[in-house]
């Protein structure tokens, strides 16, 4: 499945942070640089994420790159033998099997770049992201700006009443907050 020239070059990179922090922008930037260097790239996203496009990975700033929408991480194992770089957006929406798939790809010489939320709307570790961060050679945590006070924001505060863990949304559903403002917002929510 993988060529001999890929041996010992595999690695895992994770880009994580809150909503509106630039995770997808950074993922697209890295993938475009790989394409510019004439590397063969495959890009995946969860099929449930149809906010901007059925197929493309699209940032909140409307930067986009063609991708393949998949329902299971195992679908990534069908890539062409010559693929050198795999990009994965919104990794928190995949089940735990994504960890084994990412490790398999990296162990077979593929550079895997994963982007996703590190915490859910409750401020708890989200899905397989903590494990992906632990096994990665490189982790970059990016931050948004708190809409309440202007400090660095690391939390995705849900502003609509919905207790589902997965709720795809934008500025109509979430706002980035710093720790202090996030704790204040949650304290007032509990009182209501």
Q: Cα(158)–Cα(173) distance, rounded to whole angstroms?
A: 6
Active site includes 90? yes
Pair 126, 96: CB distance under 8 Å: no
Q: Cα(145)–Cα(56) distance, rounded to whole angstroms?
A: 26
Of the residues 90, 103, 170, 175, which is catalytic? 90
Q: Cα(10)–Cα(29) distance, rounded to whole angstroms?
A: 19
Pair 136, 13: CB distance under 8 Å: yes
Q: Cα(140)–Cα(160) distance, rounded to whole angstroms?
A: 29
Q: What is the sign of the dihedral through the CA atoms of 176, 179, 185 and 191?
A: positive
Catalytic residues: 90
């Amino acid at each position: 499945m993988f060529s001999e020239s890929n041996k010992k070059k595999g690695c895992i990179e994770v880009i994580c942070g809150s909503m509106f922090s630039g995770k997808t922008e950074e993922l697209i930037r890295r993938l475009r640089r790989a394409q510019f260097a004439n590397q063969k790239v495959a890009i995946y996203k969860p099929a449930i994420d149809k906010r901007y496009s059925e197929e493309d990975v699209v940032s909140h700033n409307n930067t986009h790159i063609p991708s393949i929408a998949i329902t299971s991480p195992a679908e990534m194992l069908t890539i062409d033998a010559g693929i050198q770089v795999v990009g994965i957006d919104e990794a928190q929406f995949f089940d735990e099997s994504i960890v084994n798939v990412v490790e398999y790809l990296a162990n077979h010489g593929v550079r895997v770049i994963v982007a996703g939320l590190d915490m859910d709307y409750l401020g708890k570790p989200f899905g397989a992201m903590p494990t992906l961060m632990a096994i990665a050679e490189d982790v970059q945590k990016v931050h948004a700006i708190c809409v309440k006070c202007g400090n660095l924001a690391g939390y995705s505060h849900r502003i609509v009443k919905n207790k589902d863990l997965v709720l795809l949304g934008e500025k109509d559903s979430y706002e980035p907050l710093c720790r202090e403002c996030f704790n204040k917002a949650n304290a007032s929510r509990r009182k209501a």
